[in-house]
Structure 1
Amino acid sequence: MKKLLFIALTLLLSFQVKAQDSKIPTEVKEYIQSRVNNQINVGIVVGFVDGDTIDYYSYGNTALQNGVAVNKNSVFEIGSISKTFTATLLALKVNSGEMNLDDPISKYLPKTVKTPTRNGKEITLKHLVTHTSSLPRMPDNWDPKNLKNPFADYTYENLYSFISNCQLKYDIGTKKEYSNVGMGLLGHILELQSGKTYQELVIENIANPLDMDDTRLVLTQTMKSHLAKGHDGLAETENWDIITLGGAGGIRSSASDMVKYIQANINADTLDSKLHKAMALAHKSAFKSEEQNAEMALAWHIENGKFLMHNGSTGGYCAMSAIDKEAKRGVVVLTNSNENVDAIAIKLMVPNYKLKLLKPSISKVLEKEIKDNGIDKGITFYKNTKAEKASDYNFEVEELNTLGYKFLSEDKKDIALALFKLNVAEFPNEANPYDSLGEAYLENGNQELAIKNYKKSLEINAANDNAREVLKSLNEGIKEVEVSKQMLESYVGKYQLAPTFFITITTEDGHLFLQATAQPKFEIFPSDYNKFYLKVVEAKVEFNANNKGKIDSMTLFQNGQILPGQRVE
């Protein structure tokens, strides 16, 4: 499986930077260069606003093959940053009196759509825009025909069917649970209320007033000519066409356009226009949970009580935006790789934030060795280099995976298969190598071994929905585990894993939740009667009984660590 966060290789390097009085520190520029040079990202563009000064920095290329240097006008997918546009559009409607945050969603949806309720309470527009609707992250009837463009065939009929049949897991408005389908639904509700498409609303109310000519859902010819091609690992990938759920993540833009958007948000409280007043409303705190350590404005995440932040990612892109209105500073970082760039934005907003030093990936030198001398000598080279120069290169699990997908994209299936096999041998306790090996076996027509490896991946990481979906498509049913409420209750308690580190287990409406010290609470899902996994991170917990059958301890498995904990309450 090609993970959302992945390694990418660039072949041609160049950069552009504003010549005078740069506000972007040399440390940040060198870090960006190291990400590209060390094969993390293909191209990165930063737009930084500091008071009245705007600064840009660009490094890398629009494509691995035949690419040109990225710049402030290069077009990227901004993913979930689109949600802040949706919130602004809603705020415009609220300020004009056309809509109210407390309006139930049923007011705007067709009468044929049965909107979900819980304990007599309805979902409102405010619940959608603050991720407190109890709707899940993704609709359960999302079944893309093309995983490289997975939203293209999701229709309004699919959305209506999902909403009409959705069973809410917890009380509406009680906690934050990030929901793409909820925000996509809000974008569609704005369409229904206005009689215009989501793109038309964005252009008319945000893009045109701010002269953002390269900010659209559907690429114009000019945007196509400036497009930075998305990359999944080392392979160029398809753009994501998100229309039905466009309000959740469908917008494409450039750094120069996004800087205009950031500036408008920074000045929202001081400029007197409909748009600025709407942005100001969207910035106000609308939900806060001490238990989850979370605070939401309208779509914007509020961090440390003052930063407005939102990132985004699609199949071949990542993006990050952050604003400090009081300091009149803001940043946007765009990359045409699905490797997270949040650290760059955080460093610019919080100067004492430490950037992690990077090592060059082993995949670049290994690729050359394979092309020069063949796969067998390449594998020998890899093993010898890892044994003798382990500190010189990045040998993490995704390095071989990334290179394997590059060869797979070049139709060199035997080489890709050999690299995925090597990765499984090197990292036998990691789920992703087995998933990728399963995909390679499918590409080579060996369904039996593909199924075996997908099942092994799912065994290691029960949250691997990709493996689950592929096995389903191969008619290999995966039995869902059900644990009785009585059994769930037996796990409830407080477990001590370190002197000051505890995990508290609670249950609610037949679901089990985990909360670590000073961290949010997350639902955990059963893979066996006493084994559970998290979906937000790759981690598992196992509950253990004593010789009298009473649960007296648990074990946390995460990042290769095995952390036992005694039950203390």
Structure 2
Amino acid sequence: MKKLLFIALALLFSFQVKAQDSKIPNEVKEYIQSRVENQINVGIVVGYINGDTVDYYSFGNTAQENGTPVNKESVFEIGSISKTFTATLLALKVNSGEMSLDDPISKYLPENIKTPTRNGKEITLKHLATHTSGLPKLPDNLLQTDPKNPYVDYTYEQLYSFISSHELTVDIGSVTEYSNVGMGLLGHILELQSEKTYEELVIEHIANPLEMNDTRLAFTQTMKKRLAKGHAGLSETPNWDIITLGGAGGIRSTVSDMVKYIKANINANTIDSKLHNAMSLAHKSAYKNPDQKAEMALAWFIENGRFLMHNGATGGYCAMSAIDKASKRGVIVLTNSNENVDAIAIKLMIPSYPLKPIKPSIAKVLAKEIKVNGIIKAITFYKEAKTKQANDYNFEVEELNTLGYQFFAEDKKDIALEIFKLNVAEFPEASNPYDSLAEAYLENGEQELAIQNYKKSLELNPANDNARDVLKSLKVNIKEVTVSKEMLESYTGKYQLAPTFAITITTKDGRLFLQATAQPQFEIFPSDYNTFFLKVVEARVEFNTNSKGKVDSMTLFQNGQVLPGKRVE
């Protein structure tokens, strides 16, 4: 359930929608092939709907080793697209008069549960469905006993404990802040109201009416036989079992089934049935925030006033769905890799959107070098290749990270540790390499080094919930930062980072906001008095003063890049 969506959606502003052929273009097929052949994804399956026509395309395998070709009947985890199912179930209850969007969540939870409030306002079902509850992305008592299956041991008792003790830091309904725990709580409230499990509700009200026989939370025997095994990089990884928070991301499905679901959503306004009427309600705009340039339906993100979109990701899978009801088009893309496939869906919905050429991963070449010549010579090879063949391979930060986890999964932890060390040395301003190195140190019993690197990861990306949670579990105190309104005001202005790219900083109600050229506005949060981070992407900004103590520049840190900018306004 990674938060990838906002990056994809922001890209839609710049491109015009034109007529699209009913077939998946060769350009898209070749792009998919290049992703699989260069070992970015293991397998990819696409279903594209245009009116009454459905076109499928699949490439790759169900497993990196000894897999069979994927197809439209292969089973994947769909991650956070599950949230749209939860919203549809809520809409069914609202249309039947059993529930109201304005009902406070306290109405459905046990009487002994103290629900969070702020300034006398209660969280409602609508707040949960639009990510405006003020609840965080994850509960702070999600202690991952199994990092490769992080939700498996999370109980309803733990969920209640979190809800009863959590203090909101933003006003309810004031901003959209993506919350897995909020949507998981909504799924559980639907369970309590109906006295049925979330899976039973999905099967009864959505899967059975649409004949989606391979859409479940728990695998059936036939689904297991057609499972596309999840992969973190090139390494097979266990499936995620999400039960307590199932409404946030627990569903497994196939492209064949998901095409039925997307088609039903496209026709929501034209077919009169309980399910289609519920889908229609779930599509209606339910929240707008001009400051964030955000618009939400129930769970669905509304983009450009036209597209309904949601993606999803678990430990070994990524998924993307998009709908344009006006043109009766939709798409579903599923992959059994933790590399997102948003671009494929966007390209099919917006043909003018350019697909970035795929370079071969240096990880594939380096893996062979390690096996032939050992890790020390392989590191020397990597550094020389990065200097002399920079344009021939993909040297981005995640390439070494992926390779490190591949050796980690093969129980070659000494090699993995050296790869993670190399990644930190090559990308000292990126948070994730430190997080991975810390995990390797912790696994190796070197707790002090693990703490040191988790702290550095959190410093570079204070939105890194994993680092925060692990440090808390190790009884490490984490500094909480507040910045005065006067100091926030001193940072406002326009900063020019490139001739055609600037960042505007504004403040409102004691909070700071960032807006880049041609992008939505997002809130930024303090990690130090002059350093702020984003939650929607891994990035941070640092404000700099001149010799007179006046803020005259800022620096943006993102994707290993360091971009300084002068204050021009």
The answer to whether the superposition gives a TM-score over 0.5 is yes
Q: Are the structure 2 counterparts of residues 424 and 106 from structure 1 closer, same or farther at C-alpha, using a change threshold of 3 Å?
A: closer
Q: What amino acid maps onto 1:349 in structure 2? A: M
Q: How does 1:29-108 map to 2 (within 5 A)?
A: 29-108=29-108
Residue 173 of structure 1 aligns to a residue whose secondary structure is coil
Q: Are the structure 2 counterparts of residues 566 and 224 from structure 1 closer, same or farther at C-alpha, using a change threshold of 3 Å?
A: same
Q: Is the 8 A contact 1:491 1:543 kept in 2?
A: no
Q: Are the structure 2 counterparts of residues 555 and 487 from structure 1 closer, same or farther at C-alpha, using a change threshold of 3 Å?
A: farther
Q: Are the structure 2 counterparts of residues 444 and 489 from structure 1 closer, same or farther at C-alpha, using a change threshold of 3 Å?
A: closer
Q: Which residue pairs with 1:138 in the alignment?
A: 138
Counterparts of 2:278 and 2:465, CA distance in 1: 38
Counterparts of 2:153 and 2:193, CA distance in 1: 23
Q: Which residue pairs with 2:263 in the alignment?
A: 263
Q: Which runs of 5+ in 2 are unaligned?
A: 5-20
Q: Which residue pairs with 1:125 in the alignment?
A: 125
Counterparts of 2:506 and 2:67, CA distance in 1: 51
Q: Which residue pairs with 1:359 in the alignment?
A: 359
Q: Which runs of 5+ in 1 are unaligned?
A: 6-20
- Shift, 1:64, TM fit: 1.4
Q: Which residue pairs with 1:253 in the alignment?
A: 253
Q: Is the 8 A contact 2:531 2:540 kept in 1?
A: yes
Q: Is the 8 A contact 2:513 2:521 kept in 1?
A: yes
Q: Are the structure 2 counterparts of residues 101 and 459 from structure 1 closer, same or farther at C-alpha, using a change threshold of 3 Å?
A: closer
Q: Is the 8 A contact 1:38 1:359 kept in 2?
A: yes
Q: Which residue pairs with 2:186 in the alignment?
A: 186
Q: Is the 8 A contact 2:505 2:512 kept in 1?
A: no
- Shift, 1:353, TM fit: 0.9
Q: What amino acid maps onto 2:562 in structure 1? A: Q
Q: Is the 8 A contact 1:495 1:504 kept in 2?
A: yes
CA-to-aligned-CA distance 1:133-176 (integer Å, 9 cap, x gap): 22222222222211111111221112222222222223222322
CA-to-aligned-CA distance 1:12-59 (integer Å, 9 cap, x gap): xxxxxxxxx971111111000000001110110101111111111111
Q: Which residue pairs with 1:241 in the alignment?
A: 241
Q: Which residue pairs with 1:167 in the alignment?
A: 167
Q: How does 1:508-547 map to 2 (within 5 A)?
A: 508=509, 511-547=511-547
Q: Is the 8 A contact 1:401 1:436 kept in 2?
A: yes
Q: Which residue pairs with 2:484 in the alignment?
A: 485
Q: What amino acid maps onto 1:61 in structure 2? A: N
CA-to-aligned-CA distance 1:104-128 (integer Å, 9 cap, x gap): 2222111111222222222221121
Q: Is the 8 A contact 1:488 1:507 kept in 2?
A: no
Q: Are the structure 2 counterparts of residues 452 and 131 from structure 1 closer, same or farther at C-alpha, using a change threshold of 3 Å?
A: closer
CA-to-aligned-CA distance 1:260-315 (integer Å, 9 cap, x gap): 10111111111121111111111111112222111111111111111111101111
Q: Is the 8 A contact 1:191 1:198 kept in 2?
A: yes
Residue 135 of structure 1 aligns to a residue whose secondary structure is coil
Counterparts of 1:555 and 1:507, CA distance in 2: 22
Q: Are the structure 2 counterparts of residues 481 and 177 from structure 1 closer, same or farther at C-alpha, using a change threshold of 3 Å?
A: closer
Q: Does 1:389 align with 2:389?
A: yes
Q: Does 1:371 align with 2:353?
A: no
Q: How does 1:408-487 map to 2 (within 5 A)?
A: 408-475=408-475, 477-485=476-484
CA-to-aligned-CA distance 1:499-553 (integer Å, 9 cap, x gap): 77342231535x4443445544433333322222223222222233444544454
Q: Is the 8 A contact 1:4 1:338 kept in 2?
A: no
Q: Are the structure 2 counterparts of residues 86 and 465 from structure 1 closer, same or farther at C-alpha, using a change threshold of 3 Å?
A: closer
Q: Which residue pairs with 1:198 in the alignment?
A: 198
Counterparts of 1:247 and 1:56, CA distance in 2: 28
Residue 70 of structure 1 aligns to a residue whose secondary structure is coil
Backbone CA RMSD of aligned residues: 2.2
Counterparts of 1:480 and 1:520, CA distance in 2: 29
Counterparts of 1:92 and 1:346, CA distance in 2: 29
Counterparts of 1:549 and 1:366, CA distance in 2: 48
Q: Is the 8 A contact 1:45 1:70 kept in 2?
A: yes
Q: Is the 8 A contact 1:285 1:298 kept in 2?
A: yes
Residue 59 of structure 1 aligns to a residue whose secondary structure is strand
Q: Which residue pairs with 1:566 in the alignment?
A: 567
CA-to-aligned-CA distance 1:333-391 (integer Å, 9 cap, x gap): 00011111000011111111111101011111221222223223322332333333221
Q: Does 1:497 align with 2:496?
A: yes
- Shift, 1:324, TM fit: 1.1
- Shift, 1:430, TM fit: 2.6
Counterparts of 1:520 and 1:44, CA distance in 2: 30
- Shift, 1:397, TM fit: 1.8
Q: What amino acid maps onto 2:266 in structure 1? A: I
Question: Percent identity among equivalent residues?
Answer: 73
Once the two structures are overlaid, the 10-residue window that deviates more, 398-407 or 558-567, is 558-567
Counterparts of 1:278 and 1:479, CA distance in 2: 44
Counterparts of 1:4 and 1:238, CA distance in 2: 20
Residue 56 of structure 1 aligns to a residue whose secondary structure is strand
Q: Is the 8 A contact 1:4 1:339 kept in 2?
A: no
- Shift, 1:320, TM fit: 0.5
Counterparts of 1:474 and 1:163, CA distance in 2: 23
Counterparts of 1:199 and 1:334, CA distance in 2: 21
Q: Which residue pairs with 1:8 in the alignment?
A: none
Q: Which residue pairs with 2:10 in the alignment?
A: none
Counterparts of 2:397 and 2:358, CA distance in 1: 15
Q: Is the 8 A contact 2:429 2:557 kept in 1?
A: no
Q: Are the structure 2 counterparts of residues 405 and 157 from structure 1 closer, same or farther at C-alpha, using a change threshold of 3 Å?
A: same
- Shift, 1:431, TM fit: 2.6
Counterparts of 1:441 and 1:482, CA distance in 2: 28
Q: What amino acid maps onto 2:356 in structure 1? A: K
Counterparts of 1:4 and 1:290, CA distance in 2: 21
Once the two structures are overlaid, the 10-residue window that deviates more, 127-136 or 224-233, is 127-136
Q: Which residue pairs with 2:339 in the alignment?
A: 339
Q: Is the 8 A contact 1:4 1:315 kept in 2?
A: no
Kindly tell me the number of residue pairs found equivalent between the two proteins.
549
Counterparts of 1:72 and 1:271, CA distance in 2: 26
Q: Is the 8 A contact 1:237 1:316 kept in 2?
A: yes
Q: Is the 8 A contact 1:47 1:56 kept in 2?
A: yes
Q: Which residue pairs with 2:109 in the alignment?
A: 109
Q: Is the 8 A contact 2:496 2:568 kept in 1?
A: no
Q: Are the structure 2 counterparts of residues 107 and 466 from structure 1 closer, same or farther at C-alpha, using a change threshold of 3 Å?
A: closer
Q: Are the structure 2 counterparts of residues 178 and 365 from structure 1 closer, same or farther at C-alpha, using a change threshold of 3 Å?
A: same
TM-score, normalised relative to structure 1 = 0.91
Q: Which residue pairs with 1:158 in the alignment?
A: 158
Q: Is the 8 A contact 1:59 1:69 kept in 2?
A: yes
